Chain A
Amino acid sequence: MIAAIGLVVGILLGLVLTPDVPQWLEPYLPIAVVAALDAVFGALRAFLDGIFNDKVFVISFVSNVVIAALIVFLGDKLGVGAQLSTGVVVVLGIRIFSNVAAIRRHIFHA
């Protein structure tokens, strides 16, 4: 419940402020969102498993976003930014998929 409030507040903030993303940050935004999605779905699954801990969530969220952005940044510097982004998206995608599958099992018992 309290988590949903936080989410809604965030979206409203985005809607009101409409922050303009600086040019240098633009390539890292999508990958950061995917990494954040992974952390959020992991947290939701942990919550349904009954082992959720907010400290772990905050740390995993921040580290996910930072590491994903860092990998893409490093890739850009080495000239393999697109390939590394693909790798990051594949790994995070697999995690998101199986977390969502676990969430689905919790909700629908199937």
Chain B
Amino acid sequence: MSSPAEQQQERIRVGLIEYLSRHTLDEDYARIARDRPGRRSSWLATGAMLVTLAVFGVLVFTAASQTTRNASTSARDRATLIDQVNARRATVQQRNEQVRALRRVNDRLDTDLLAGGQKGSRVFERAQRLSVLTGAGKVKGQGVRVVVDDAPHAASDRNKVLDSDLQKLVNGLWEAGAEAISINGQRLTNLSAIRQAGLAINVNYRPLTAPYTVLAIGNMNTLPSRFAETTHGATWFDLQQQVGLRFDMTTDRALVLPAADQLSLRYATLSKEEHR
């Protein structure tokens, strides 16, 4: 057996792989055999060796069984994946058939639409006429322009335009035959609310500030006079005289009223029955 210094020399001389294959055996075996020849090993050491070998057996067996188990697991995973792929493929096929069926339905509906074009255009016209009345559509026409404002140097609510005043004005205009009304660009529908909220008056839940310009489409020749005949018209003339609110009504040949922003019905839905 060589000394450590010689071993070092050899390691440098022959290279790592060569050195490894020359010194494969644990050198302690040889050293102990040389130092203590013929010495019997103790029972304890023999027992330890037995235990070690048993551990080795367990190790080998466990590693092998673990590998087999993993292999079977991955095989199972693979089978599951294949199943999934096949299922998805079937889904795709089914969807393609659905697409074809829908396309056929679409074609049929297209021809129906062409056939029902006449009827459809009548319905469309009716809807447009209705949109004028409901406020869903932008409209133009002759009518009156009413500008109302607070009294000059208004100090109290008494000489300011209140929501109730605006309500009276609008109701009077409806009564006088107005077909469409807007306040400061807010088109009134049958669901519009005119409400005081703090300092501002909210129309369609939008705050407006004075002066208020009310546009009303109707017969420009009869609207002012018929408005004056209504009770609300009379109230307004009183307000103008007594409180000093500003009220200017002029006729206009070409008024343009915007469509209402929101026409959301919260409770009513269309009945499925044929509506006339």
Residue numbers of A with Cβ under 8 A of B are 2-3, 5-15, 17-19, 21, 26, 29-30, 32-33, 36-37, 39-40, 42, 45-46, 49-62, 65, 91, 94-95, 97-99, 102
- Beta-carbon contacts under 8 Å, B9-40 to A: 17, 20-21, 24-26, 28-30, 32-33
Number of A-B contacts (CB under 8 A): 137
In the bound complex, residues from chain B placing their C-beta under 8 Å from that of A65 are 59
How far is it, in angstroms, between the C-alpha of A56 and the C-alpha of B186 when the chains are bound?
100
Report which of A9, A29, A40 forms a contact with B62, defined as CB distance below 8 A: A29
Most buried by B among A14, A33, A60, A99: A14
Report which of B24, B26, B62, B66 forms a contact with A98, defined as CB distance below 8 A: B24
Q: Is the CB of A40 within 8 A of B59?
A: no
Residue of B nearest to A11 (CB): B57
For residue B55, CB closer than 8 A to chain A, the reply is: yes
Q: Is the CB of B26 within 8 A of A10?
A: no
Report which of A2, A9, A51, A54 forms a contact with B45, defined as CB distance below 8 A: A54
- Given known pairs A14-B57, A46-B25, A91-B20, the reply for A53 and B33 (CB within 8 Å) is yes
How far is it, in angstroms, between the C-alpha of A42 and the C-alpha of B24 when the chains are bound?
7
Report which of B25, B48, B59 forms a contact with A42, defined as CB distance below 8 A: B25
In the bound complex, residues from chain B placing their C-beta under 8 Å from that of A102 are 24-25
Q: Is the CB of A55 within 8 A of B20?
A: no
Q: Is the CB of A10 within 8 A of B61?
A: yes
Q: How many residues of chain B have a CB within 8 Å of chain A?
A: 33
Residue of A nearest to B53 (CB): A6
Min CB distance A6 to B, Å, is 3
Residue of B nearest to A18 (CB): B65
- Given known pairs A42-B26, A45-B25, A102-B24, the reply for A13 and B58 (CB within 8 Å) is yes
Report which of A26, A32, A62 forms a contact with B52, defined as CB distance below 8 A: A62
How far is it, in angstroms, between the C-alpha of A26 and the C-alpha of B69 when the chains are bound?
12
For residue B8, CB closer than 8 A to chain A, the reply is: no
Q: Is the CB of B62 within 8 A of A19?
A: yes
